[in-house]
Amino acid sequence: MTRSISGTRHRAALLGGVALATALLVSGCGAGQIAETAAKAPSVPGVNVQSSDGSVLIRNLHVVYQGPEGYPAGGDAPLALSLYNQSDQPVMVRITPAAPSGSDNQATVVSGSSVVFSDLTTPAPPPASPSAPASPSAPASPSVPASTDTASPSAPASPSAPASPTTPPAPATRPAVIEIPALGSVVISGTGDELLQVEGLTTALTPGKSVSLTFEFSNGAPPLVTSAPTGVPLSPAPRATSVTGDEGH
């Protein structure tokens, strides 16, 4: 009888320990990350940074994808980004090119001569030409003697010169200064009639490279230097098909 009671108590203690271990395992799994969710990559191709005081957030900063050839040296590259003002006062943000840093990534980072807004609908005004100095008065020409009765043959009319093709006017540009309203945001998509772009790239900007930029803030936050990577295509490139069989089939 004693053996039966002790055996029952032993089995009950063992079952209680197993239940406790199972509860701990379940709670541990619930508190941690799910591996499949943690391995997912973000759906935006750009960089997410912010000012040192957290007042301005910069999200999805990248160069608009143009194809595998990218942008040539000396060309312009449009930017896309979103700016969020976390303060209760408007903030002005100025974007300028930054010299590539001395890091190991220097070979893949380029810069430009300026960062500007280009209005594709408004041509830039032509530069004002300096006024020409007044030319001195020409001396009086001697009187032409009266012509004789023999009439001189008339000169043939010269053919009119063909009209030269007109060059399309350049778009109007202005410095890249953006005002973010208090507790507001500004989204620049990189498409449309007005582009925020880097002008005069120092080297070719191809996929895998990035542009070095400096962000300055009017609220006293220190300047922020970051890189804008080249965006990725929204759809994969078509795969080359191999041709087999005889020619013509």
pLDDT in tens, 102-142: 555 555 899 999 999 988 787 766 666 655 555 555 555 55
Q: How many structural domains are present in the chain?
A: 1
Instruction: Look at residue 143 and tell me if it is in a domain.
Output: no
Single pTM value for the model: 0.62
Host domain of residue 75: 42-123+170-224
DSSP 8-state symbol, 138: P
Within a domain: residue 192? yes
Task: Tell me the CA distances in angstroms from 187 to 26, 54, 67, 82, 145, one per residue in order.
Answer: 44, 18, 23, 4, 79
pLDDT in tens, 14-39: 555 555 555 544 454 444 444 454 44
Domain assignment present for residue 231? The answer is no
* pLDDT of the residue at 139: 54
215 in Cβ contact with 94 (< 8 Å): yes
* Residue 53 in tokens: 């005081």
Domain annotation covers residue 108? yes
| pLDDT at residue 38 in the model | 44
Q: Is 25 among the domain residues?
A: no
From CA 19, how far away is CA 21, in angstroms rounded? 5
Is residue 26 domain-resident? no
How high is the pLDDT of residue 99?
Answer: 83
Rounded to whole angstroms, the maximal C-alpha distance in the chain is 162
Q: Is the dihedral of CA 27, 33, 34, 37 positive or negative?
A: positive
**pLDDT in 10s for each residue of the chain, 249 residues:** 445 555 555 555 555 555 555 554 445 444 444 445 444 444 556 899 999 999 999 999 999 998 999 999 999 999 999 999 999 999 999 999 998 765 555 558 999 999 999 887 877 666 666 555 555 555 555 554 444 454 455 555 555 655 556 666 777 888 999 999 999 999 999 888 889 999 999 999 999 999 999 999 999 999 999 999 998 876 665 665 655 555 554
Is residue 191 situated within a structural domain? yes
Q: CATH number for the domain including 58?
A: 2.60.40.1890
Q: Is 70 inside any structural domain?
A: yes
